[in-house]
Chain A
Amino acid sequence: MEDRLKRIYVPMTESGFYILYCLQTPQHGYGISQQVKRMSGGAVVISAGTMYGTLSKMEKDGLIRFYCEEEKRKLYQITDLGREILDIEIRRIERLYKNSKGEDIDA
């Protein structure tokens, strides 16, 4: 993976993480925002402009790709590269979580 992408996406913003996570199944922007709102119990709400901007950037950087169009709405899906970055983030968050509970990570 390019260093540039690592710099931008590791660690990534909370919105970025949720969006990438949701795109493991193809979806459009509004669908993602509804899913995020539901799964976070209303704690994370992503606005329209932030959603559009993040999707555009991630598509340009190759983390997600255009899947198909449904009634003028673009559906996106995660790519292999996106998957790789998502896994790095998940491992980082797991480490944070364990450490926050006072558990050490075995080297």
Chain B
Amino acid sequence: MRKTLIRIFTIADYEEEEIWLRGQHKKGWKLVKMTPPMFYTFESCEPEDVIYRLDFKNTERPEGYFQMLKDFGWEYFAQCFGWLYFRKPASAAETAEEGELFSDNESRVDLVSHVVKTRLLPLAIVFLCCVIPNFARVFTGSYVGAFGLFWGILFAVLFVLYVVLIIHCGTKLKRIRDKYRTGMDG
């Protein structure tokens, strides 16, 4: 049996997403497919405690990377917008670190920085260079007629959406980074 759920996780919510997926598997639903942007297809299975982890690699993904994760017992099974999905039965992790993709704060901070640089920054650029100028035209009276109204509303909605998203992701990613930075000695 299969089911598809719609769930929104932003680029700053990957830790919550891992917990949610683990909870689904515990209830007997294993994730089999991710369809961008937010469709999760599950298949019924034996309820089991399986650890889910996400890594973000939107640039290079050499063969050696997947081989190494496999060596460490991680099953790679899906990807979505540069996010790679891995899982491993909790029973296979003897220590807490074996249930994690990252065992030191330096590498956890590296992941956050990479997300900020390649995801949050482009989002902010689109907002500044496209959404704001088009939204501003509402006030200069550039949009006329029914078609103009449509564009006006569209950019007003986009404006609000971008503001909410950028504030949410920006503050949350900063919080995650600070959480791991305070644990660093260097």
Q: Which residues of A contact B (CB under 8 A)?
A: 11, 13-15, 28-30, 33, 42, 45-54, 72-74
Contact = CB atoms under 8 A, between A and B. Distances in A.
Interface in B19-34: none
B100 A47 contact: yes
Given A49-B101, A50-B104, A33 B72 contact: yes
Given A13-B186, A30-B72, A47-B98, A54 B107 contact: yes
- Chain B contact residues: helix, strand, loop or mixed: helix
A45 B71 contact: no
Contacts of B98: 45, 47
B68 A15 contact: no
Given A52-B68, A53-B110, A46 B103 contact: yes
A interface SS class: helix
Given A33-B72, A45-B98, A73 B64 contact: yes
Interface centre among B55, B67, B98 (most CB of A within 10 A): B67
A73 B68 contact: yes
Interface string B48-78: 0000000100000001110111011010000
A56 to B, nearest CB: 9
Contact of A52 (B65, B97, B100, B104): B65
Interface of B: 55, 63-65, 67-69, 71-72, 74, 95, 97-98, 100-104, 106-107, 110-111, 186
B186 A11 contact: yes
A48 B72 contact: yes
Contacts of B100: 47, 49
B69 A42 contact: no
B72 to A, nearest CB: 4
Contact of A13 (B68, B95, B106): B106
Nearest to A55: B68
Given A11-B186, A13-B106, A47 B63 contact: no
B158 to A, nearest CB: 35
Given A13-B104, A13-B106, A29-B71, 15 more contacts: A30-B71, A45-B97, A47-B101, A47-B102, A48-B72, A49-B69, A49-B102, A50-B102, A50-B104, A50-B106, A52-B65, A52-B69, A54-B107, A72-B67, A73-B68
